[in-house]
Structure 1
Amino acid sequence: MTNTLATTNIIAKAAVKILDNELGMGSRVFRGYEDEFSKNVNGYKVGDTVSIRKPAQFRVRTGLVASNQDVIEGKTAIQVNKVAGVDFQFSSTDLALNIGDLAERVIKPAMVPIANQIDQDLHACALQNFWNWVGTPGNTIANYGKFLAGVQRLNEMAVPSDERSAALSPADHVALLGNQAQLYIDGANTDAYRKAKLGGLAGVEPFMTQNAPTLTTGTRTNGTVNGAGQAVTYSGAQANSWGQTLNMAGLGAGGTIRAGEVFSIAGVQAVNPVTKQVLPYLQQFVATAAATADGTGNAAVQIAPAIITTGAYQTVSAAPAAGAVVTWNGAASSTFQQNLMFHRNALALVCVPFEKPAGVPTDQIGAQDYKGIHVMLVPYFDGPNRVSSWRLDVLYGVAAIDPRLGTRVSG
């Protein structure tokens, strides 16, 4: 086969396809917002943030008497504010290679860390926003029943049954593989034993990822709710947020809370998001931002979901009482692996093209897109040292567009 001159566009085209293939989480989340960023509004580009309408909710009426409900469409947002890139040098020998050889030797090794960075950002986004957590922190998912606990939680939260995925840490993946290999089910044990593949389980597609995040908890003690009357209503600015501020006490002087920590409150039960039926377990909440208690152990903590006790957007059975005990998932100052089970619409990834830089001839810039992934390859020259260099960049953003549709799973 004759060698092909590897121009910037050829390299960029190979790079974007390799990047798409290497994405783990990125291929399993919602990818439909790229077009929103390409729109012009009155001749102007939309900028780096796009608002997304949250689904409206309603309560059913029983009987003949009408009871009008206001249609409240809250909003959430996704911001393109992340850049992942690699910088490298090609020699004239490299550029003379067949593009297939160049892709294997140079381009693929460059794309792997970019794909990992995008996946890590998606995992971190889920960690900071998913409030459901089943299982015992620190335990691996050692059998099918432990895995099914995550499926049960998704079902209880009325999560659609299609397009469900589970991101498992290497340890949890291997533990579940070992269990599946012992099954006497035609095909299931063969794939688990010979191919190290789990296949679909209970309508969920599990996959192993080294990017599964860990959560290191703060130094907080259990604490209590500091004051009554901390429920909110779904209206105005509150409708544009999944959470609220909760005042806590008894966290210990200078006690810390890490973003992503999960807790429950005594007397505050979970409810089915559709029927509003009270469920037989406490509602879980996540700290969406880090917090540090003052010298008396008090702190104002950003949490999700919002505490809403009535109406179509109800999230809990009752508001917490003053002094209600707060119980955290996992001991203080400990690190726990975080496996994720989620519907595609829980998280979103958006990639948009860079503006082409001034000062570089357009025909020397490689800008390619593939399945919504955009990469830009720009050459530049170090005159004093006579070195030709290349930079490859990806501009993207991630968001938890509906954190109700995901849960963490431990054994």
Structure 2
Amino acid sequence: MANTLLTPQIIAQEALMVLESQLTMANLVHRDYSPEFVQVGDTITVRKPAKFVAKNFTGTTSSQDITEGSVPVVMDRFRDVTVKVTSKEMSLDIKDFSSQVVTPALSAIAQAVDIDLLAVGVAKAAKTATVSATPVINDIAGVGKALDMSKAPKQNRRLMLPADIQYKYNTLDNFAKVSYAGDSQALRDSEIGKVYTCETFSSENCPQSSAATPGTVTAYKVVGTVNTTQFTVSAGSPATGTIKTGDQLIVNGYLYTVTADLTLVSGAGTLSVDQNIPATIASPVDVKVISKAHALGFHRNGLALVTRQLELPMGASKAYIASANGLAVRVVMDYDTTTKTDTISFDIIYGIKELDTSLLVDFA
């Protein structure tokens, strides 16, 4: 029997399922979604989870309004994977096409979403906990303590560990794996167990330096131009310190990896990074220096992933948006007359917002 024609609708629905199964962090934070269409850079208002006070009952009740509060969120994260395809790939059935094209493309997008969430969480965390030089289980208890001090509810506490930190603790007592039925395959694969009030997971998307010997600079500011891969560094401390290839930095919620060693001169220099700067930074901003591995402890209501739908291109007959469970994926099939090749693009738009920084713990 002939294969079913691969339409944008079929591909988009498959892409949505793959994306949902590959996400880890996105399934652990507060989610906000509506089917309204937005464009890159739009600012929308989203509701924050409601808070109440349990009052003493002394004969009469004192009613409380449902004041959820709201925060503005910029929809500035536009992730795209565009793939050149041939008639041979388009003749595959959806199972084989998914294996060859859809799964690798949406896995890359899922990784980008999780990296963004962890970067914002670590950079905005108002609480800290320390990984000891000789790790002890009390280190992880420090994450639970920080959340206790913030009066975080016991339910929906999470701790996301990179391998470098996880392996320091996984042979210690009370760090045993327990079974967990998550909402996606990525969750099930990454779950470790519940440790000191926190459901604990592992992820290589956590901010972490890969330098054999990390740089010595502990603080600096940067400016940069949109669509370039270089920052201008100022106010570096120490003024003659180093930033090494593989070190990372978080700027305005985006995680960058350094691609060339830099030794500062009077606290300044030009820093090369691995990806384009999404918007011009005209005035110097502080960066979060990542010269070692960082884990993130958090309560679900500390961080939000806000998703909306992108508009279908005008006149594009071969395009479709699939949405479900707070996610939306757009698929557009096109023909490039310049290179005379067929392409399929997968893209999503989202924003990330810290809702309560006291519910975020930088564990490093």
Q: Which TM-score tier does this pair reach, normalised by the shorter chain?
A: 0.5 to 0.7
| C-alpha distance 198-104 of structure 1, shift in aligned 2 (>3 A) | same
What SS does the corresponding residue of 1:336 show, helix, strand or coil? coil
Cα offsets for 1:321-380 (capped at 9, x unmatched): xxxxxxxxxxx987132111111111111221111111212xx11210121111111111
1:156 maps to which residue? 149
1:218 maps to which residue? 219
What SS does the corresponding residue of 2:168 show, helix, strand or coil? helix
8 A contact 2:191–2:202 mirrored in 1: no
8 A contact 2:36–2:309 mirrored in 1: no
1:15 maps to a residue whose letter is: A
Alpha-carbon distance in 1 for matches of 2:344, 2:37:
30
What's the TM-score, normalizing by structure 1? Answer: 0.60
Alpha-carbon distance in 2 for matches of 1:334, 1:355:
36
8 A contact 1:20–1:370 mirrored in 2: no
Equivalent residue for 2:311, pick from 355, 363, 385? 355
1:409 maps to which residue? 363
Alpha-carbon distance in 1 for matches of 2:129, 2:347:
38
Displaced runs of 4+ in structure 1, greater than 4 A?
A: 53-61, 71-75
What SS does the corresponding residue of 1:199 show, helix, strand or coil? strand
Alpha-carbon distance in 2 for matches of 1:11, 1:334:
38
Alpha-carbon distance in 2 for matches of 1:399, 1:3:
44
What SS does the corresponding residue of 1:146 show, helix, strand or coil? helix
1:310 maps to which residue? none
Cα offsets for 1:148-196 (capped at 9, x unmatched): 111111112100110111110111122222225x98x8x769xxxxx99
| C-alpha distance 17-288 of structure 1, shift in aligned 2 (>3 A) | closer
> How far apart are 1:211 and its partner, in Å?
1.0
Cα offsets for 1:116-166 (capped at 9, x unmatched): 111111112112211110115x748x4432211111111121001101111
8 A contact 1:349–1:396 mirrored in 2: yes
What SS does the corresponding residue of 1:159 show, helix, strand or coil? coil
2:5 maps to which residue? 5
What's the TM-score, normalizing by structure 2? Answer: 0.67
Query: Structure 2: where are the runs of 5+ without partners?
Result: 59-65, 180-188, 210-216, 222-233, 239-250, 254-266, 268-283
| C-alpha distance 12-219 of structure 1, shift in aligned 2 (>3 A) | closer
8 A contact 2:308–2:327 mirrored in 1: yes
1:396 maps to which residue? 350
What SS does the corresponding residue of 2:152 show, helix, strand or coil? coil
8 A contact 2:37–2:311 mirrored in 1: no
Cα offsets for 1:277-309 (capped at 9, x unmatched): xxxxxxxxxx989xxxxx9xxxxx999xxxxxx
Equivalent residue for 1:103, pick from 52, 75, 98? 98
Equivalent residue for 1:201, pick from 195, 202, 210? 195
* 1:268-279 matched pairs, under 5 angstroms: none
Q: Which of structures 1 and 2 has the bigger CA Rg?
A: 1
| C-alpha distance 372-57 of structure 1, shift in aligned 2 (>3 A) | closer
Alpha-carbon distance in 1 for matches of 2:320, 2:70:
36
8 A contact 1:177–1:198 mirrored in 2: no
1:4 maps to a residue whose letter is: T
Tell whether 2:308 aligns with 1:341.
Answer: no
| C-alpha distance 255-22 of structure 1, shift in aligned 2 (>3 A) | same
| C-alpha distance 27-383 of structure 1, shift in aligned 2 (>3 A) | same
8 A contact 2:16–2:327 mirrored in 1: yes
> How far apart are 1:104 and its partner, in Å?
1.4
2:244 maps to which residue? none
2:204 maps to a residue whose letter is: Q
* 1:184-199 matched pairs, under 5 angstroms: 198-199=192-193
1:172 maps to which residue? 165
Equivalent residue for 2:319, pick from 365, 368, 379? 365
What SS does the corresponding residue of 1:38 show, helix, strand or coil? strand
Equivalent residue for 1:129, pick from 113, 124, 129? 124
1:366 maps to a residue whose letter is: Y
Query: Structure 1: where are the runs of 5+ without partners?
Result: 41-46, 64-70, 190-194, 221-252, 258-286, 290-294, 296-300, 304-331
Alpha-carbon distance in 1 for matches of 2:45, 2:17:
26
| C-alpha distance 127-370 of structure 1, shift in aligned 2 (>3 A) | same
Cα RMSD between the aligned structures? 4.1
* 1:79-98 matched pairs, under 5 angstroms: 79-98=74-93
> How far apart are 1:39 and its partner, in Å?
9.5
Alpha-carbon distance in 2 for matches of 1:74, 1:351:
19
Structure (1 or 2) with the greater strand fraction: 2
What SS does the corresponding residue of 2:192 show, helix, strand or coil? coil
8 A contact 1:94–1:102 mirrored in 2: yes
8 A contact 2:77–2:349 mirrored in 1: yes
Question: Aligned residue pairs: how many?
Answer: 287
8 A contact 1:369–1:375 mirrored in 2: yes
Alpha-carbon distance in 1 for matches of 2:37, 2:83:
33
1:14 maps to a residue whose letter is: E
Alpha-carbon distance in 2 for matches of 1:20, 1:59:
37
8 A contact 1:48–1:79 mirrored in 2: yes
What SS does the corresponding residue of 1:392 show, helix, strand or coil? strand
